[in-house]
Structure 1
Amino acid sequence: MKIVLTGSLGHIGRPLTQQLAAKGHRVTVISSRQEKREEIEALGALAAIGSLTDSHFVTTAFAGADAVYCMIPPDFGQADQVAYYQSLGRIYAQAIQQAGVKRVVHLSSYGAHLPSGTGFISGSYAVEQELNAIPGIELTHIRPTFFYYNLLHFIPMIRTAGFIGAVYGGSDRLTMVDPEDIASAIAEAMQTPERTERVRYVASDDRTCNEVAAVLGQAIGMPELEWQTLTPEQVLAGLIAHGMPQNAAENLVELGLALHTGKLREDYDQQVAVTGSISLDAYAPVFARAFRSK
């Protein structure tokens, strides 16, 4: 198969490229950075260097592809996060139709069943709607849960305050996933279009925030580590104080509240998810190494 991947060689893109190239597929990786070309080619793929905001470039890159993988690269600098998602979603939809692509796998998120009230994930809902409107394609939305590496953002807080704190915590359930497990689910979906599912959830582990704190605390030598629930006002003020733009900070707080209330996972809990192989206990040493190196 000729497969085109967006997302460059990020947390998901690198293992996804490796898996598909190893299976003998002709893989093209889109990246905005010219210096990534050599690295992409070293993995056995072709590099297409350009901007995802350039509709002509994206259409040209998609031309002749049997399948494409579409994701929206995070950009906290955007003044309106949802509008940013919508803009790239429209470019993808246009390119898919003009290039005649028939198999599309889109990286969405759990919570994308809701049009609002989920922060950034409202953007994933919007992109899903754009792609759902394309006639005659085989489409799967991959909806991963909370990425393990997002736990790394709590390291400065643990160092300075001695606890983890967010608008969610305590007994709130946190369903987590490793990017390699996501990559495996995407690769499987791209190679088996006859098993097309419109939505496929991916998760690696499911714990309460208290349980997450206990596992991470044990790994870093702080067995009494707690995960405290903070007020939205406390979290918003902290994010802005650390330089995050207002819109991005408000979206993160809204997202956290959706996790706290359970709204984020309400559809996930009704489905059968693809279960990954990398548990929280397996991820904990990675967290510990990062904690000790920072």
Structure 2
Amino acid sequence: MIVITAPTGNIGRRLLSLLLEAAPAHGEELRVIVRDPARLPEAARERVEVITGSHGEAEVVDRAFEGADAVFWLVPPDASRSPEDAYPGFTRPAAKALAAHGVGHVVGVSALGRGTQVAGRAGLVTASLATDDLLAGTGAAYRALACPSFFENLLEEAESIREKGVFTDSVDPDRKAPLVAVADIAAVAARLLLDRSWSGSGDVPVLGPQDLSPRDLARIMTEQLGRPVRYERQPLDELLGALLGYGLNEAFAQGVVDMKRAKDEGLDAGVTRTPDTASPTTFERWCAETLRPAVLS
């Protein structure tokens, strides 16, 4: 039995599709935790066991983890709480349930940066790494999918790209760093959940095929969209003011800013890309298949 949290999110819905396709051949049963079962694809609802509720609630994860062999763990973003409450705090009931039910394997979505000089002051990433430590201490074999920023973050900029030809971030325009497509993260998670021959705890970096700078992204988007796209660097104090203006929890907003600062100081640059840590989806392909329809719609 594999339990999937956040099955309607960007990563979870892709993972669910992969596992639905592969589970029969592996003799696996699937169970999902979801707040609103109506958001699941109809075909999926007929083939999985559904536990309704939040996977941050003790009673929900206790029911969901009973009899489970493996769990996919993803903390949903919650900007109304501090990073400590939103990440390790959200996960503590699940950690207790994993230990109580003797779940053997857990795969979690996390971040790059462990072992770097800035990992302890990287805001949301620091909180995510603390969550990994919590899960690794449950007795389950644990793999943290150590991910850089997602291509999909740029979908939040689709309107600005369409209307102004501009996307923003807070890093140096020439700072090269790995980026990854969420579909590639889901594929790695599916492989680990289906082949549970691994033990102990550790990170599994998912780095995409190449490092790219904001200037590189602008060039590729210009080529793929057939219109000029440029990068504007946003000062961190301006970013903090904007986040607070949106109503984010003050500590969470500061956590975002600290994460952005750490990324500009090389947080994501500590892992060497190898055939094992690279993933296949190029930014060019992602732009053509995902960003272009979103911008030109």
Same fold (TM over 0.5): yes
| Stretch deviating more after TM superposition (239-248 or 91-100) | 239-248
Specify the alignment match of 1:14 in structure 2. 13
Deviation (angstroms), 1:287: 1.0
**TM-score relative to the length of structure 1:** 0.88
Residue matched to 2:258: 254
Distance 1:121 1:138, change over 3 A: same
Q: 1 CA distance for matches of 2:126 and 2:42?
A: 33
Corresponding residue number in structure 2 for 1:99: 101
Output the amino acid matched with 1:91: P
Given that residues 20 and 44 in structure 2 are in contact (C-alpha distance below 8 angstroms), is that contact kept between their aligned partners in structure 1?
Answer: no
Compared with structure 1, are the counterparts of its residues 50 and 165 closer, same or farther at alpha carbon in structure 2 (3 Å cutoff)?
A: closer
Tell me the amino acid that sits aligned with residue 261 of structure 1.
E
Does the residue aligned with 2:205 lie in a helix, a strand or coil? strand
**Is 1:123 matched with 2:127?**
yes
Of 174-183 and 264-273, more deviation after overlay is shown by 264-273
Tell me how far 1:270 sits from its aligned partner: 7.8
Distance in 2 separating the partners of 1:183 and 1:43: 21
Deviation of residue 185 (structure 1)? 0.3
Q: 2:284 aligns with which of 272, 281, 284?
A: 281
User: Counterpart amino acid of 2:226?
Assistant: G
1:221 is matched with 226
Matched, 1:231 2:235: yes
CA contact (8 A) 1:169 1:228 kept: no
For the pair 1:208 / 2:213, whether they are aligned, the reply is: yes
Q: How does 1:135-154 map to 2 (within 5 A)?
A: 135=139, 137-154=140-157
Give 3-state SS (helix, strand or coil) of 2:94's partner.
helix
The separation in 1 between residues aligned to 2:161 and 2:195, in whole angstroms, is 43
Residue pair 1:40, 1:46 contacting (<8 A) in 2 also: no
Q: Is the 8 A contact 2:161 2:295 kept in 1?
A: no
Equivalent pair of 2:141/2:198 in contact (CA under 8 Å)? no
Once the two structures are superposed, residues 263-284 of structure 1 have per-residue CA deviations (whole angstroms, 9 ceiling, x without a partner) of: x214323877532221100011
The answer to whether the Cα contact below 8 Å between 2:123 and 2:254 also exists between their aligned partners in 1 is yes
Q: Any gaps of 5 or more consecutive residues in structure 2?
A: none
Q: CA deviation at 1:43?
A: 6.8
User: Mean Cα displacement is larger for which, 158-167 or 194-203?
Assistant: 158-167
Find out whether 1:240 has 2:241 as its counterpart: no
SS of aligned partner of 1:140:
strand
Alpha-carbon distance between aligned partners in 2 of 1:193 and 1:153, rounded to the nearest angstrom: 35
Q: How much identity, in percent, do the aligned residues show?
A: 23
Name the Cα RMSD after superposition. Answer: 2.3
Matched, 1:190 2:189: no
1:61 aligns to what? 64
Q: Secondary structure at the match of 2:219?
A: helix
Task: Give 1:172 shift.
Answer: 0.7
Residues 28-77 of structure 1 show CA distances to partners (whole Å, capped at 9, x for unaligned) of 11101142356373473221111223212201111111111111111122
AA aligned opposite 1:246: E
- The residue correspondences of 1:151-170 to structure 2 (distance < 5 A) are 151-159=154-162, 162-170=165-173
The residue aligned with 1:134 is: 138
The question of whether the paired residues in 2 share the 8 Å contact of 1:201 and 1:272 is answered with no
TM-score (norm 2): 0.87
